[in-house]
């Protein structure tokens, strides 16, 4: 076994108790409106892009009909700007009557009828970030109850217009209130993001006990710079945040912007590979009605998804940061397998990176290698064999690696997870 694997497994088994709602044992996958559609409420002039019930029904149709659902992309998530500017006579949140005339319960039924789940957005504070009614300490139970009655399956709770003491009380209280509804509702907490993402202000033990996922860092934007700044923050602080992740409780580096306007194909593969190796939630935020086939193929890459969804749920780490601008990431997977990402920060030309599995701390043995994006089995590698990977500028090479010995063993085949991809 990889030496570092033993350390991770120990850290994993020592992890304290996690939120016990049975949900999100692997990172949640789906679609979230914010990055692509923001707070466009101008349905009169921009009907294709505005936040209304049609947008969410359209995305549910696409997830159900275009092969996404079968791959695990099951959440259809509403973000800010869905609600009316006022609560109803009984003090409950209500959707904007013009843009959601059917109401949220009806939308939830539509989504559920297609084998999908519906997520909604709230804010632990006086207002949401876009200025809609927030959830204050005295409305937590009402709002949890309202969401449950509507048939909501996931809540993203933002943290605008509040302070640290309100957040410290409010986020755990919402966790309790969701539990008290008896409806399993995945809980995404933006709390750490508002407290700088690091101890002592952020206590990851507490987060793991009350939230299924949490946003550690700022919002993603539609640019490579934004992706890179997130990757940098997550790797610079990996010693703190990597041990916090595990089944049912995940670090969230924010949405996938693959299929939007800011990333090249190489950069899109980089985001997919790095999100997979970080065990990140995979929430796409693109227009699935018009997404191009290149972006679709990356988002639907079965091996990248299988790596992301590995049942051990151990977040990967950066192993090496080379002066040449190459970073190597590694993630231990079930069945003695592992994933490697060779990532180039260079901006000149494809870089030929020389290394060996031994140099990456793999133990003595012979390994099978499957290249995730070229979808090809590589020649078998001894740990000592020197090899070269050619990595495009701002791109990646991603490998699924497993011991060759087990490949022949029927029944306990370490490569069985890759069988459907590799063929008989």
Ligand X SMILES: *[C@@H]1O[C@H](CO)[C@@H](O)[C@H](O)[C@H]1NC(C)=O
Q: How many CB atoms lie within 10 A of CB 225?
A: 9
Minimum gap (Å) between residue 399 Cβ and ligand X: 15
Residue 237 backbone phi and psi in degrees, to 5: -110, 25
Q: Which is nearer to ligand X, 57 or 183 (CB)?
A: 183
Q: Which among 64-72, 102-110, 180-188, 384-392 is the span making contact with ligand X, rule CB under 6 A? A: 180-188
Query: Can residue 189 be called a binding residue for ligand X (CB under 6 A)?
Result: no
Q: What are the CA-CA distances from residue 423 to residues 310, 324, 379, 415, 419 (Å)?
A: 20, 37, 16, 11, 6
E strands in 52-183? 75-77, 117-123, 154-158
Query: Can residue 15 be called a binding residue for ligand X (CB under 6 A)?
Result: no
Residue 255 backbone phi and psi in degrees, to 5: -70, 160
Residues 361-380 that bind ligand X (CB under 6 A): 361
Q: Which is nearer to ligand X, 69 or 117 (CB)?
A: 117
Q: Which among 20-28, 258-266, 267-275, 376-384 is the span making contact with ligand X, rule CB under 6 A? A: 20-28
Query: Do the Cβ atoms of 282 and 29 come closer than 8 Å?
Result: yes
Query: Can residue 86 be called a binding residue for ligand X (CB under 6 A)?
Result: no
Query: Can residue 13 be called a binding residue for ligand X (CB under 6 A)?
Result: no
Minimum gap (Å) between residue 306 Cβ and ligand X: 24
Q: Which is nearer to ligand X, 51 or 341 (CB)?
A: 341
- DSSP class of residue 188 equals E
- CB-based contacts of 424: which residues, under 8 Å, 6+ apart? none
Query: Which of 199, 218, 311, 420 is in the footprint of ligand X by CB under 6 A?
Result: 199
Query: Can residue 17 be called a binding residue for ligand X (CB under 6 A)?
Result: no
Q: Which among 65-73, 199-207, 258-266, 301-309 is the span making contact with ligand X, rule CB under 6 A? A: 199-207
Query: Can residue 138 be called a binding residue for ligand X (CB under 6 A)?
Result: no
Show which residues are catalytic: 158, 219
Query: Which of 13, 14, 20, 89 is in the footprint of ligand X by CB under 6 A?
Result: 20
- CB-based contacts of 207: which residues, under 8 Å, 6+ apart? 189, 191, 192, 214, 244, 249
Q: Which among 19-27, 33-41, 55-63, 212-220 is the span making contact with ligand X, rule CB under 6 A? A: 19-27
Query: Can residue 166 be called a binding residue for ligand X (CB under 6 A)?
Result: yes
32: tokens are 């979230």
Query: Which of 13, 45, 97, 182 is in the footprint of ligand X by CB under 6 A?
Result: 182
Minimum gap (Å) between residue 363 Cβ and ligand X: 11
Query: Can residue 163 be called a binding residue for ligand X (CB under 6 A)?
Result: yes
Q: x/- string (CB under 6 A) for ligand X, residues 274-313? A: ----------------------------------------
Instruction: Give 42: exposed, middle or buried? Use CB within 10 Å, 0-12, 13-18, 19+.
Output: exposed
Q: What are the CA-CA distances from residue 86 to residues 33, 90, 95, 98 (Å)?
A: 22, 11, 9, 14
Query: Can residue 240 be called a binding residue for ligand X (CB under 6 A)?
Result: no
Please report the DSSP string for 260-285 in residue order: SSS--HHHHHHHHHHHHHTT--EEE-
Instruction: List residues bridging with 186 in a β-sheet.
Output: 154
What would the 3-class secondary structure string for 170-187 be? HHHHHHHHHHHCCCCCEE
Say how far apart CA 238 and CA 244 lie, in whole Å: 10
Query: Which of 173, 320, 404, 422 is in the footprint of ligand X by CB under 6 A?
Result: 320
Query: Which of 72, 103, 131, 184 is in the footprint of ligand X by CB under 6 A?
Result: 184
Applying CB under 6 A, the residues found at the interface with ligand X are: 3, 20-22, 163, 165-166, 179, 182-184, 199-200, 203, 205-206, 319-320, 360-361
């Amino acid at each position: 076994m990889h030496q570092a694997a033993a350390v991770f497994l120990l850290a994993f088994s020592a992890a304290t108790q996690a939120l016990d709602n049975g949900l999100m044992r692997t990172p949640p996958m789906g679609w979230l409106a914010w990055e692509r559609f923001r707070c466009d409420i101008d349905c009169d002039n921009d009907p294709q892009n505005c936040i209304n019930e049609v947008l969410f029904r359209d995305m549910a149709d696409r997830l159900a009909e275009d092969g996404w659902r079968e791959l695990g992309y099951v959440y259809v998530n509403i973000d800010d700007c869905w609600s009316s500017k006022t609560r109803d006579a009984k003090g409950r949140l209500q959707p904007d009557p013009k843009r959601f005339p059917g109401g949220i319960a009806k939308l939830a039924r539509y989504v559920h009828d297609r084998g999908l789940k519906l997520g909604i957005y709230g804010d632990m504070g006086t207002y949401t970030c876009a200025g809609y009614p927030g959830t204050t300490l005295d409305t937590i139970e009402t709002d949890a109850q309202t969401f449950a009655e509507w048939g909501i399956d996931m809540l993203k709770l933002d943290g605008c217009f509040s302070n640290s003491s309100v957040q410290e009380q409010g986020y755990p209280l919402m966790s309790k209130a969701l539990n008290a509804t008896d409806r399993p509702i995945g809980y995404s907490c933006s709390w750490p993001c508002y407290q700088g993402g690091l101890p002592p202000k952020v206590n990851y033990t507490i987060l793991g006990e009350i939230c299924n996922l949490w946003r550690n860092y700022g919002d993603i934007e539609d640019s490579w710079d934004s992706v890179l700044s997130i990757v940098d923050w997550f790797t610079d602080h990996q010693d703190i945040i990597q041990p916090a992740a595990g089944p049912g409780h995940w670090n969230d580096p924010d949405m996938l912007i693959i299929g939007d306007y800011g990333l090249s194909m190489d950069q899109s593969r980089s985001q997919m590979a790095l999100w997979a190796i970080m065990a990140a939630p995979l929430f796409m935020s693109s227009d699935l009605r018009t997404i191009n086939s290149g972006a679709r193929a990356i988002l639907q890459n079965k091996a990248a998804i299988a790596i992301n969804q590995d049942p051990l749920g151990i977040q990967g780490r950066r192993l090496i940061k080379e002066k040449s601008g190459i970073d190597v990431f590694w993630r231990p997977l079930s069945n003695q397998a592992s994933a490697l990402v060779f990532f180039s920060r260079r901006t000149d030309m494809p870089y030929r990176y020389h290394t060996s599995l031994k140099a990456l701390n793999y133990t003595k043995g012979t390994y099978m290698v499957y290249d995730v994006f070229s979808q090809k089995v590589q020649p078998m590698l001894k740990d000592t064999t020197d090899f070269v990977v050619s990595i495009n500028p701002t791109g990646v090479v991603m490998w699924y690696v497993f011991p060759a010995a087990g490949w022949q063993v029927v029944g306990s085949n370490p490569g069985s997870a890759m069988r459907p991809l590799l063929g008989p």
